[in-house]
Structure 1
């Protein structure tokens, strides 16, 4: 099997496809191989795993751009993380 990645687009569509050949070295790479665990897991558990990988990658990219462009605020993380923790706990 090939390493597959989940890609989200600005128009709110998603695509599962092979990883791109070259990612700019400063950007975090998406998690590879989301399809490997699929066969041995229940669908709900696998979708939760894909969501965790996607969310962690999106947060990594957001922190990268925040650091790069100097968006510094002590209370910004608590504004983001509180609703995120609530959503995760709803599905746990």
Structure 2
């Protein structure tokens, strides 16, 4: 099986695809292999696992941009 990742697209849809060759080093990498656990889990549990990985990645990206652009500082 291939490692698959869940990607959010600008048009507010989602796509499951192979991971990109290189993620910019400053960005957190998405969770790989969301499809590996699928066969051994109930669908509801698997969707919860995918949601947790997606939420964690989105929070990591938000904190990265918040720290990088100094949001919250009075300038």
Q: What stretches of structure 1 move > 6 A for 4+ residues in a row?
A: none
Q: Which has the higher contact order (CA 8 A, sep 6+)?
A: 2
Q: Deviations over 1:55-88 (max 9, x none)?
A: 00000000000000001xxxxxxxxxxxxxxxxx
TM-score, with length taken from structure 1? 0.76
Alignment gaps of 5+ in structure 1: 72-92
Displacement of 1:25? 0.3
What TM-score results when the alignment is normalised by the length of structure 2?
Answer: 0.93
Compute the displacement of 1:9 (Å): 1.0
Give the unaligned 5+ runs of structure 2.
Answer: none
Superposed CA offset, 1:7-58 (max 9, x none): 0012110000000001100100000000000000000000000000000000
